Amino acid sequence: MSETAGLIAGILLLLALVIYVFWPENAFAAQRQKTQLDFLLERKEQLYENLRDLNFEYRAGKYPEEDFQVQRAHLEAETAQLLAEIERLQRA
């Protein structure tokens, strides 16, 4: 490819990319602002997953009964607190 042909190819590339970048389009992917409630709902999913893991590990024999009860009580208290907060925000 000669240097002139190379330059022409370069200019064509530039034109194509400029058209692509500034092509008029009004449908942008928009997203509402993430709220505290969204964050709490994500956290709820995580706590549920932690509870599922705990149950599974207990069934697998990794936790003695008393350890399991203590851990579960902790996680459930945390989840209850979170659910209460979610409910409060949803009511508001």
Partner 1 sequence: MAAFGSFALIVALALAAYNLLAGSLALRLIATGQPTRISPERLADTARRAGIAIFFAVSGAAFALVWATFANNFSITYVMEHSNRALPAAYKFAAMWSGQEGSLLLWAWLLAGYGFILRLTHKKDVKLYAYAGTILAGIQFFFLLLLNFAATPFSLFPGPTPTDGNGLNPLLQYPEMVIHPPMLYLGYVGFSVPFAFALGALMMRYPGDKWIKITRSWTTVSWLFLTCGIFLGMHWAYAVLGWGGYWGWDPVENASFMPWLTGTAFLHSVMMQEKKGMMKQWNVWLIFATFLLTILGTTLTRGGLVSSVHAFARSPIGNWFIIFMVIVLAVCIFTYILQRDHLKSEHRIESLVSRESSFLFNNLVLLTACFVICWGTLFPILSQFVQGTKVTVGPPFYDRVAIPIGLFLLLLTGVGPLLPWRSTSMKAIRRNFVLPVFALWATVLVCLFAGVRPWRNGVFNRGDFYALVAFALGASVVTAVLSEFVRGARVIAKQTGRNMFSSTVQLARRNTRRYGGYIVHIGVVIVIIGLAGSAFNTSSVAELGMHSKMTVGPYTLECVGFTQDSNRDYNSEYALLNVYRDGRREFQLTPAKRFYLASDQPETIVAIHSVPAWDLYVVFEGTNPQTGQPIIKAFLNPLVGWIWFGLAVIVFGTVLALIPSLNPAATSPLASTPRRISVEPPVLKGGD
Q: Give 2-59 as a DSSP string.
A: -HHHHHHHHHHHHHHHHHHHH---------PPP-HHHHHHHHHHHHHHHHHHHHHHHH
Residues in contact with partner 1, shown as a per-residue x/- string from 61 to 80 under the rule CB under 8 A: xxxx-xx---x--x-xx-xx
Which of these, 80, 84, 85, 69, lies nearest to 47 by C-alpha position?
80
Taking the complex as a whole, how short is the minimal distance between the CB of residue 74 and partner 1, in angstroms?
Answer: 7
Q: Enumerate binding residues for partner 1 (CB under 8 A).
A: 1, 3-4, 6-7, 9-11, 13-14, 16-17, 20-23, 25-26, 28-31, 33-36, 38-39, 42-43, 46, 48-57, 59-64, 66-67, 71, 74, 76-77, 79-81, 83-84, 87
